[in-house]
Structure 1
Amino acid sequence: MSHGYDYGFHVISRLMSPRKPAPPAADLTLTPDDRLILSSSGSGHAHRDGGRSARPRGLWSGAVAVAVAPPAPSRVKGGGSGGKPPRPPRGGKAAGGGRRRSWGWRIIGWGVSLMIWGMIALAGVVGYYAYDLPSLDTLTATSRKPSITLLSADGQTIAAYGDVFGQPLTLAEMPKTLPEAVMATEDRHFYSHFGIDLIGTARAALADLRAGHVVQGGSTITQQLAKNLFLSPERNAKRKIQELLLALWLEHKFSKDQILTLYLNRVYLGNGSWGVDAASERYFGISARGLNLYQSALLAGLLKAPSRYNPQNDQEESLQRTTQVLANMVAFGAITPAQAQEALKTGPGTVKKISHTGRYFADWVRDQVEPYTRDGRDLVVRTTLDLALQRKVEAALDASLSGPGAKARVGQGAVVVLSPDGAVRAMAGGRDYATSQYNRATQSLRQPGSSFKAFLYLAAMESGLTPDSTIEDEPITEGKYRPGNYHEHDRYEGVITLRHALAKSSNVAAVRLIERIGPRREVEVARRLGITSDLRPDASLALGTSEVSLLELTSAYATFANNGYGVFPYGFGEIDDPRGQQIYLRQGGGTGRVIAPRDLQEMTDMLVAVVQTGTARAAVIDRPVAGKTGTTQDSRDAWFIGFSADYVAGVWMGNDDRTPMHRVTGGTLPAKLWHTVMLDAEQGLPARPLPGLSAQALPGEAAPAPAPGGGAPPPPATMDQLWKGIIHMFGG
């Protein structure tokens, strides 16, 4: 008997014990915020019932064993020396009673045996899953995405990415209605169960069985905390058993107040916010300390489905869910019906709207700063964005596309505004970020058309030609590549100056020019000014057939506004951690001088003529500006890139599916939108001459008028121009 009992105890103890030796004292490793929470919440074993009886320390120490040895069967021994055993006593009552007692003992024995083997099997299952639990030394280590907060140039928040934790708060620092709303909705028996609510679990299982799918959750707050802190989100039997075991361990290790405090500071409440304080700031712009009853109920309602009941996404769903939580609080006894009605009248106050202002820009910057989060640090990024200008740019783009753009079958557009040094001040990558996050300013590659001619004409200036050098504006009749001017009804003007050829955007003149200087020179100039996309070094490059991005092309034009110095577009100048410790500081940038002063002066002079007398007259504003239009075949793309002394702006319009627009050129809608954007950008700034030119007449004062017939005759050649022509003829 004693041997069988000892053996059973030994087997069950082995099964209930961990397969690896447990450390002498398995203490929970806490983060600094957790220590603050727990130190403010009382003793680790303080409960409402005044404490609990002592238990063995450690998660799985102290195996519990129950063993019952069944009684040995009794036998009636015979008497005498080998005689027959006496017959059983006769009589119905005595005989029947013996048989009933025999069967009764057998049933008891079988029941006890089944119970023992059931306990052994249960112990085996528990031991198996307990062995695979997370290490106790890393249970509270948070696994989250580092947060990235982007600030505008004046310090306003543009966007926040990653997971955000709020300030850790104790129960005493929270409004009483917040934990009550959570308990009324998630776990009404929180202070009375031992980590597992058997009644609630059975009720949820019955409801799920009737519905044929999961309709209720039976998890207690302790189980949810175990799941949120320690386990992966998948649903299976193994994870559920581990959740139960960890819940029991949490109940053993911490008091009820501490568990509730940890839960409220760590639970996910949508939009990347973890904990009630982060969620309160995200949705209401206040600390959780100042939540009213309605706001507390709203946050408690988010626990079931943070995205569905998010007040920023669907106010009607949020209202219905909050109303249900308030009803739960009334049933829980936390508030009266009158208080619930008053809360519904009060409402949530001001719910912060999800702002999409500057989101194309924010996504572009985020991709650049993400490498700085590899060590797990949160980032605060100070960007170059002018938030007021950004709002005006987005409004102007939407108005252009919704009004005249809709009539001209223009589906999309993009705008970029830079400072001359390359700092991005505004960026609209499309008409509606909520509808499409595809950034047409940075990700989309489109043919730039004639806006690419600026690099060709700069290469011509560097090769010895001048704005007054001449070229033929006549149909091309030789060779395989024979483009015409954009508008077939435009009459050809014969011999014209390069200045006039660029102003009227003559295609045949551009092709003749690239054949004269060679396409590789244009490629070299484009690369030097910052074009990185693939370029085909052939005659078609003169007409902008190689695809580029709007930001790429605009930053290349910024070189003219930056007095001939190379420009790298950039969106941020400083990165700090949340405590203000500097991680990155931009110092300088660019590639030095890439355009000689004389060539810069000549190119700026020609680009001014494009606006004053050429294809971009719709872009004229109240100060000197210069730029170039671009239009591709069948009006699939329309561009205008231009600059003043203070800003460089680029505009693109087209359709994502590359279908043609209706009679849209770079000099129409894009130039008009550029005009509007630049007026907003230049508001309050004095007019200044363009870099490279000492002074220019303001539009309308002394702008040269085209000669009758559409073009001025070429002036007499000077000796300097003749020498340049001779040098060019001999390959100089």
Structure 2
Amino acid sequence: MNMIISLGLSLKGNLFICPLKFQKCIFQKILVELLGGILKLNRMVPFLKKILIFFLLIFIFTFFIWSYFQQKFLTEIYEKQQSTVFTDRKGEIVFILPNERGYINQQIQKIPPRVKELLIKKEDKYFYYHFGFNPFSICQEIISKFGFGNRKGSSTITQQLAKILLNKEKEKSTKNKILELFSAISLEIFKSKDEILKMYINSVYFGNQVQGIKEASRLYFGVSPELLNDGQILQLLATISSPSEINPLKPENITVAQNLAQRLKLDLSNLFFIEADQVKENVKNYFKQQDLLFEIKPFLPSLKSNQLTIDKKLTQKLREIVKRNIEELKFKHAKNAALIVIKIPENEILALIGSPDPTSFENGYQVNMLKKPRPIGSTIKPFIYLKAFEKGLRPYTLVEDREYKYITALGFPLYPKNFDWKYRGEVSLHYALSNSLNVPAVKVLEYVGLENFYQFLEKDLEFKPIQDLNNYQLGIALGALEMNLMDLAKYFTIFPNQGILKSLKISFNQEQKEKIITKPEYVQLVNKILSDRKTAIDQFGLKSDLNLFQENYALKTGTSRNFKDSWIVGYTPDFLVGVWVGNVENEPMEEISGQLGAGKIWSEAMELLFNSNYNKRTPFDFSCVKEFYYKNNIEFGLKNDDFEKSLTALKDNSLILNPHDGDKFLLKETTHIILRAKNRVNWFVNDEFIGSGKEQFFSPKKEGCYKIKAKSIFRQEIVTICVIG
């Protein structure tokens, strides 16, 4: 440097003589200026060093801060990948919700040693020696792009993890590669190698909507990662490069896994691979474990806890019962069914089945029939009788089961009929409800009052009908009211819960509302009737699926018009089971009643529960019920009853039973009108005597209105009928 300075001074002193005629040549000027600049630079070197060091420190500090927040950002993404897991009341996994990317992901905390070993050998053999990137691999990839070599990828495990977390797997650009590189370095700075490896194995996609080795192991092989053999591990590792095309469901997967084994120098003779057909069965069983999501999905927004009140194993057994019975009922055109089990007195849902097979796309199985309103048939009758008992009627109250005429709001006549089209004369309400007679139910609803019953449904039970209740009127007693199975089952819980209505619980820590609907003594009267299987023999027979080996249970069946819906709700003081059978398309079945359709499923479900821990054999409380003796029979009422008053509260004083006032008949040669009275009477038509007795035939000869009079010793009654051509 001193020589250069001396030379510069000599030049500046014109010691160097230019051979040209110019006093100074251009070269001399340039050289002088250059050497002068070097001289000045030499004086500035310490200052430049400080500037460079300062900016270098700023860069390092900035990159460190950026790396901290970047790895924190990536860690948050990683943690959000974890799917929400819902367990049943016993802690078993019921279903797993997909994460934000639509993948099912459960993360493991410790990688099985063999999985770890083979993963590193395949993906990144220098994983423990580099700092997030492999410069030699990067150089080889760059060189291969110019036609030298055939290296296709240079990403380390850390870079692959960054790419997954940044969701940039399909976006290959220089900008993304730089971001992935710096993100990988940020992870290396703040995470240990084992943490990075764990994050990677929990984040890698294995196809068919599963992310991470835990769910991949369960999906394809039905085992946890700890139980994977070398062949299965290789099949999963072979999937990583092309999860949609080379996953274990594809026959090519085994070929790729075998090639991988050779590359890793493993002995093929010691490896056991799972064929695609077996994998398909495993996948089918895996998604079958997710069946309950079908029924519980509507409740997800309101769930307060990830632990559900559901019993998974019980639900699986019940679904098999439903599926098997529906297969048997298909020949009678019944294709769909739903079932609910509620634990009493907590009103915790133990089982929900809205479809025999939610994985099937046949027969409307993708429709959840738990929430679809359908006409509930005779299952409404216990509620009608409950209100009647509040108003003074009793199980021993007598009612005439005969033909009655009612005029609907539209002006049309209504003649209620029983299920079997027979009338039984004078019967008790106990007998009428036990045998589900329609005509007495209409008389009881008439006694309760429509407005009173409407208020009970909408105000007390807080039921929301799908149409104005005035559209149903007395048709409610004939089963026309629509309701879904879950609501019906919830309302039925007032009977085993002593008149208290509680909201249904499907998860623990869920807020539950309670409401007193009626007094326990009236509930006990209903329970006494519905638990009496002997009185129900006339309608249901001695041998019936409804007759179970344990006695402390009550039930009510229902069948809608034209056999479109088959219902049953039965309960003990420990649990309640409700079942619906029918068709999604609302098509009629072939004479499948509540007993024959839903009843078969219900009886099997009840027997399953009778043999479970949920059966505490708690007896019904009949402490308020009193026995009364009437005509050599034992009847039931309440203490302090006015027996005679309640006995005849529905007494019908009509003398003429048929025809009804205002009836119209079509005139034909074969028209014969039956005149029927309660007692022996004299019959008159237009004041002309035609005969005596309880029954008499009248054959009109011409059109017109006729005055029919029945006259006994004590009274007489007149009705008017019309005969039209």
Report if TM-score (shorter chain) is over 0.5: yes
TM-score (norm 2): 0.64
1:631-668 Cα deviation digits (max 9, x unpaired):
11211111011112322111100111111111111121
- The corresponding residue for 2:560 is 632
Give the Cα separation in 1 of the matches to 2:112 and 2:528: 70
Query: What SS does the corresponding residue of 1:663 show, helix, strand or coil?
Result: coil
In structure 1, which of residues 608, 611, 616 is the aligned counterpart of residue 531 of structure 2? Answer: 608
- The corresponding residue for 2:84 is 148
1:572 partner amino acid: S
- The corresponding residue for 1:162 is 98
Query: What SS does the corresponding residue of 1:524 show, helix, strand or coil?
Result: helix
- For residue 599 of structure 1, report the CA deviation from its aligned partner: 0.9
Give the Cα separation in 2 of the matches to 1:654 and 1:29: 63
- The corresponding residue for 2:235 is 298
1:419 partner amino acid: K
- The corresponding residue for 1:524 is 455
Query: What SS does the corresponding residue of 1:561 show, helix, strand or coil?
Result: coil
Give the Cα separation in 2 of the matches to 1:322 and 1:191: 33
More strand by share: 2
- The corresponding residue for 1:322 is 254
Query: What SS does the corresponding residue of 1:431 show, helix, strand or coil?
Result: coil
Give the Cα separation in 2 of the matches to 1:248 and 1:607: 74
Confirm or deny: 8 A CA contact 1:530 1:555 kept in the other structure: no
1:493-520 Cα deviation digits (max 9, x unpaired):
3443323332333333333333332223
Confirm or deny: 8 A CA contact 1:181 1:297 kept in the other structure: no
- For residue 566 of structure 1, report the CA deviation from its aligned partner: 1.5
Q: Percent identity, aligned pairs only? A: 21
Alignment of 1:130-141 (within 5 A): 138-141=73-76
2:370 partner amino acid: T
In structure 1, which of residues 689, 706, 714 is the aligned counterpart of residue 619 of structure 2? Answer: 689
In structure 2, which of residues 171, 175, 178 is the aligned counterpart of residue 242 of structure 1? Answer: 175
- For residue 600 of structure 1, report the CA deviation from its aligned partner: 1.0
Give the Cα separation in 1 of the matches to 2:145 and 2:538: 79
CA RMSD, aligned part only?
Answer: 4.5
1:194 partner amino acid: I
TM-score (norm 1): 0.64
* Pairs aligned (count): 547
In structure 1, which of residues 500, 505, 509 is the aligned counterpart of residue 440 of structure 2? Answer: 509
Confirm or deny: 8 A CA contact 1:464 1:725 kept in the other structure: no
Give the Cα separation in 2 of the matches to 1:500 and 1:406: 33
In structure 1, which of residues 471, 482, 493 is the aligned counterpart of residue 424 of structure 2? Answer: 493
- The corresponding residue for 1:54 is none
1:397 aligns with 2:322: yes
Alignment of 1:176-325 (within 5 A): 176-182=117-123, 192-194=136-138, 197-198=141-142, 224-231=160-167, 240-250=173-183, 254=188, 263-270=200-207, 273-277=210-214, 279-280=216-217, 288=225, 291-304=228-241, 306=243, 311=248, 314=249, 317=250, 320-325=252-257
- For residue 169 of structure 1, report the CA deviation from its aligned partner: 5.1
Give the Cα separation in 1 of the matches to 2:443 and 2:318: 38
Alignment of 1:260-659 (within 5 A): 263-270=200-207, 273-277=210-214, 279-280=216-217, 288=225, 291-304=228-241, 306=243, 311=248, 314=249, 317=250, 320-330=252-262, 332=263, 334-336=264-266, 339-344=267-272, 354-355=285-286, 359=290, 361-365=292-296, 367-370=298-301, 380-381=306-307, 383-403=308-328, 405-421=329-345, 422-435=347-360, 438=366, 440-480=368-408, 482-483=413-414, 490-527=421-458, 528-529=460-461, 531-534=463-466, 536-538=468-470, 539=473, 540-573=475-508, 585=509, 589-609=512-532, 612-613=536-537, 615-616=539-540, 618=544, 619-622=546-549, 623-659=551-587
Give the Cα separation in 2 of the matches to 1:182 and 1:438: 42
Give the Cα separation in 1 of the matches to 2:449 and 2:144: 82
Confirm or deny: 8 A CA contact 1:467 1:499 kept in the other structure: yes
1:244 partner amino acid: K
Give the Cα separation in 2 of the matches to 1:484 and 1:308: 68
1:230-282 Cα deviation digits (max 9, x unpaired):
1467x56xx63432222343566549978766533422235665433554466
Structure 2 residue runs without a partner (length 5+): 1-29, 34-57, 100-104, 126-132, 635-640, 652-725
Confirm or deny: 8 A CA contact 1:519 1:537 kept in the other structure: no
1:498 partner amino acid: L
- For residue 221 of structure 1, report the CA deviation from its aligned partner: 5.9
Structure 1 residue runs without a partner (length 5+): 3-20, 32-133, 207-215, 374-378, 574-584, 698-703, 707-715, 727-732
Query: What SS does the corresponding residue of 1:193 show, helix, strand or coil?
Result: helix
Alignment of 1:659-678 (within 5 A): 659-678=587-606
- For residue 522 of structure 1, report the CA deviation from its aligned partner: 2.4
1:406-448 Cα deviation digits (max 9, x unpaired):
2211111111111222122222221112115746353222121
2:325 partner amino acid: S
2:554 partner amino acid: A
Give the Cα separation in 2 of the matches to 1:171 and 1:602: 63
- For residue 367 of structure 1, report the CA deviation from its aligned partner: 4.7
- For residue 286 of structure 1, report the CA deviation from its aligned partner: 6.1
Higher relative contact order (CA 8 A, sep 6+): 1
Confirm or deny: 8 A CA contact 1:195 1:222 kept in the other structure: no
- For residue 571 of structure 1, report the CA deviation from its aligned partner: 2.0
Give the Cα separation in 2 of the matches to 1:308 and 1:634: 52
